[in-house]
Amino acid sequence: MSVTPAHRVSTGERINEQAPPGHLQRELTARRIRLTRQRRVVVQVMESAARHMDAEEILNLAQQIDKGITRVTVYRTLDLLKRHGLIDELDLLHLRGHRHYYESHGERDHIHVACISCGKVREVESPLYEELKKQIASDCGIEISIARTEIGGICDDCRAKS
Amino acid sequence: MSVTPAHRVSTGERINEQAPPGHLQRELTARRIRLTRQRRVVVQVMESAARHMDAEEILNLAQQIDKGITRVTVYRTLDLLKRHGLIDELDLLHLRGHRHYYESHGERDHIHVACISCGKVREVESPLYEELKKQIASDCGIEISIARTEIGGICDDCRAKS
DNA sequence: ATAGATGCAAATATTTTGCCGCCAG
DNA sequence: CTGGCGGCAAAATATTTGCATCTAT
């Protein structure tokens, strides 16, 4: 049994390998949630962009598509998506201040592994993690709806340099 | 193999079962860090109080011991302790806004399991978790120094009520 | 038609900083 | 004695809210 590296590093990439395109939009429609022009744009940003964007970045990308989108709408839309469990809110161990990061929620939970020296963030999945969650669910008598794991340390590259 | 419930619920209790008293203070002395009157008080609060306090609560408790402690000093001291890896900073899944919570770091990492309905937070340890961390460390080539897992869901009690 | 969304501006909340006098070592 | 620390006030960030207007369904 081994961890599955997602081979996706968060610095600058803009690829979404996980959720099918239009996933979020379809979820909203299914839930009878009003699809405004602005929500479409924010959702599009969340679907097509890399993970770990903070509200500011999301706003910038959204305004690139449609000037008439305000910060407030971004916050409100993120909150909406969050409440429906469609996106996750992370802090990535507060490595870079107290910003919050958002990412669209894929099928399976993944673990964020960050280097506290260079700031690279990898995402990994592991069967062991799924087992752990099952065990906690049964031992604590809880029906798990959110699970978040963030791990920090020094990566090989950074250790080699020092 | 089974999860070890810590039987410690975070709502209101003020017990520290984990670190020996004076642990933080001794660490600071060992590291040649100046021990001011104010730091002593904040450290005392962190050592003797329950986990999951936000800056506001820490300030209140500190001022109960010593009026002349300001919010700024609390923030600066928390930052100091954080930088030295002596306390952890959590957000507990942002269940109650964007506050940050602090707890003094015990020997072993534990998982925070929160009910998103009633807000209760339990802490559990699990051998499986230790295994998972080892696996990630070797598979990702990283020397882990921080690990944080937060799990949210509906607890039995709340499910029964609805 | 109308419930619910957005925009604007202002309010809140939270955390950080500059500067200067003070104290632990 | 002296370099780091704490207090004060103000700044910088980050997020939320009230209200009037607009729009998706």
> Both B90 and B116 in a single domain?
no
**Residue after which a domain boundary falls, among A89, A105, A121:** A105
Closest CA to B101 of B126, B72, B121: B121
Residue–nucleotide distance: B34 CA to C25 C1' (Å)? 8
Residue–nucleotide distance: B13 CA to D17 C1' (Å)? 33
Nearest to B142 among A115, A141, A149 (CB): A115
Structural domain range at position B95: 19-105
CATH of the domain at A66: 1.10.10.10
pLDDT digits (tens, 9 = 90+) for B105-146: 888 899 999 998 888 899 999 999 999 999 999 999 999 999
3-state secondary structure A16-34: CCCCCCCHHHHHHHHCCCC
**Closest nt to A35 (CA→C1')?**
D24
> Both B87 and B116 in a single domain?
no
Average pLDDT of span B86-114: 90
The residues of A whose Cβ lies within 8 A of any Cβ of B are 1-3, 5, 89, 91, 93-94, 98, 100, 111, 113, 115-116, 122, 124, 126, 128-129, 131-133, 135-137, 139-156, 159
> Both B63 and B100 in a single domain?
yes
- Subunit contact A142:B113, Cβ cutoff 8 A: yes
Q: Which residues of B touch A100 (CB under 8 A)?
A: 94, 98
DSSP string for A57-96: HHHHHHHHH-TT--HHHHHHHHHHHHHTTSEEEE-GGGTT
> Both A94 and A149 in a single domain?
no
Q: Which chain B residue has its CA at the smallest distance from A122's CA?
A: B140
Q: How far is A95 from chain B (nearest CA, A)?
A: 11
CATH of the domain at B148: 3.30.1490.190
Tell me how many domains chain B contains: 2
pLDDT computed for residue A21 by the predictor: 66
Residue A130 structure tokens = 């799924």
- Subunit contact B155:A141, Cβ cutoff 8 A: yes
pLDDT digits (tens, 9 = 90+) for A106-158: 888 999 999 988 888 999 999 999 999 999 999 999 999 999 999 999 999 99
> Both A99 and A31 in a single domain?
yes
Please state which of the ranges A92-96, A153-157, B29-33, B35-39 shows the lowest mean pLDDT.
Answer: A92-96
- Subunit contact A3:B140, Cβ cutoff 8 A: yes
In whole angstroms, give the CA distance from residue B106 to residue B147: 12
Average pLDDT of span A84-104: 91
Nearest to A152 among B1, B94, B146 (CB): B146
pLDDT digits (tens, 9 = 90+) for A12-48: 333 444 556 689 999 999 999 999 999 999 999 999 9
- Subunit contact A113:B156, Cβ cutoff 8 A: no
Residue A72 structure tokens = 């407030």
> Both B98 and B113 in a single domain?
no
In whole angstroms, give the CA distance from residue A88 to residue A149: 12
Q: Which chain B residue has its CA at the smallest distance from A136's CA?
A: B3
Closest CA to A125 of A110, A140, A114, A115: A110
Is the pLDDT reported for residue A79 higher than 60? yes
> Both B52 and B92 in a single domain?
yes
Average pLDDT of span B152-158: 94
> Both B141 and B70 in a single domain?
no
Residue B156 CB neighbours (<10 A)? 12
